[in-house]
Structure 1
Amino acid sequence: MKETVSIPKAYSAAVQRSDACEFARLLGLAVTAIGDGLVKVAMATEGMKNAHGTTHGGAIFAIADHAFGVAANMEGIDQIAISANIRYFTVPAGETLEAVAYMVSETERTSVYAVDVYSGDRLVATFEGVGFKIGGTAKRE
C-alpha cells in the first residue's frame, strides 16, 4: 500500500526511520503526509480482521501508536512512549485506515500527542500518547 508522497527534506530522517521499522513494514504502515505539525499514516485492513469479521482493535491501536511515534520524533528529539490510551467509537467500514497525529502539549521532558483514526470520513478511534524525551537529538537536514 506504500504510496509515493512528497516529504519535506526537514522530515526525511523521521520518515526513513519509520519506513525502516520492522513492525511498520509487517503491517504495511505508510506515512502519507508530514509537516505543519501533522503526521498522517495509512494502513490497509486486509488480513486484519477479528473473530467478528471487523478490523481488530490491535490493528487500530497499532496505526495510532505508529503515527504518534512518527509525530513525536519528527523534530529530531528522540522520544519514547510512556503512556498511551485509546477510545474506540465505531467499527471501521472501509478497506484502509488513516491516522492523523498532532501535538497537544509539550514540556522540557515530555510531550502529549493526539491521534484521530479514520475509516474514510468516519472517526473510528481517538488515541492519546505521552512521549518522554530520552535525550540526544537526531540532526534534521
Structure 2
Amino acid sequence: MTQNPHPPGTVPDSTVKMQVDAFDVSEFARLLGMRVTEARDGYARVIMNGSEKKNAHGVAHGGAIFSLADHAFGVAANCGGIDRVAVSVHIQYLVPATGDLVAVANRVADNGKYSTYRVMVYDGERTVAAFDGVALMVSA
C-alpha cells in the first residue's frame, strides 16, 4: 500500500495550491462556476452560484448541488499529497436552494486505504444537502 508522504496537517502549501489550481481549472468546475475558497488535507470549501442553475421548479437543480458536493469531496480527498478516487457516494436533499451555494467537506475517517468524507451544502444559513463519500487511495 502507498503511504502518505506527509503526516496529516503537514502537506506543503505549494502542493495544496497546485492541487486546488488543478481542480479550479478543470472543465467541469469552470462549466458550473465552482471555485475552491479554502482547502487543506481532508478539508475543502467550494462555492457556486446556484441561482444560475435552476430546474423547471425555479430552484437549484439537484444535479448541480450534487456536483458541488462531489467537487468539494474530491478536493478534500486529494489535498493530502496522495491520489484518491471516489468509490461510493450518497446525498440527501433536505430543502430547495435558490441562492449562492457553499459546500464544506471534512474527512471523518481514514483507515489508510479508504477514507470517508461528510460534505454539507448550504444556501446562506440553511443546510440544503448532506453528502457522504468514500474514497480509495490509488496505488502508485
So what's the TM-score if we normalise by structure 1? 0.85
Pick from 65, 69, 73 the counterpart of residue 74 of structure 2.
69
**Alignment partners' CA distance in 2, 1:31 and 1:129:** 18
Deviations 1:82-135 (A, max 9, x none): 0000001111142x1000000010112111000000000100000001001112
- Which residue of structure 2 aligns with residue 105 of structure 1? 109
* Structure 2: stretches of 5+ with no match in the other structure: 1-12
- Which residue of structure 2 aligns with residue 131 of structure 1? 135
CA root-mean-square deviation: 1.4
The percent identity for this pair of structures is 48
Aligned pairs for 1:32-71 (under 5 A) are: 32-35=37-40, 37-71=42-76
Contact 1:40 1:99 in 2 (8 A): yes
Letter of the 2:84 partner, please give it. Answer: Q
Pick from 7, 30, 36 the counterpart of residue 31 of structure 1.
36
Secondary structure in 2 matching 1:68: helix
Find runs of 4+ consecutive structure 1 residues off by over 6 angstroms. Answer: none
**Alignment partners' CA distance in 2, 1:69 and 1:81:** 8
So what's the TM-score if we normalise by structure 2? 0.86
Q: Aligned residues, how many?
A: 128
* Structure 1: stretches of 5+ with no match in the other structure: 1-7, 137-141
Q: Give yes or no for the alignment of 1:13 onto 2:33.
A: no
Secondary structure in 2 matching 1:135: coil
Deviations 1:49-94 (A, max 9, x none): 1111111000000000000000000011101100000001111142
**Alignment partners' CA distance in 2, 1:33 and 1:55:** 23
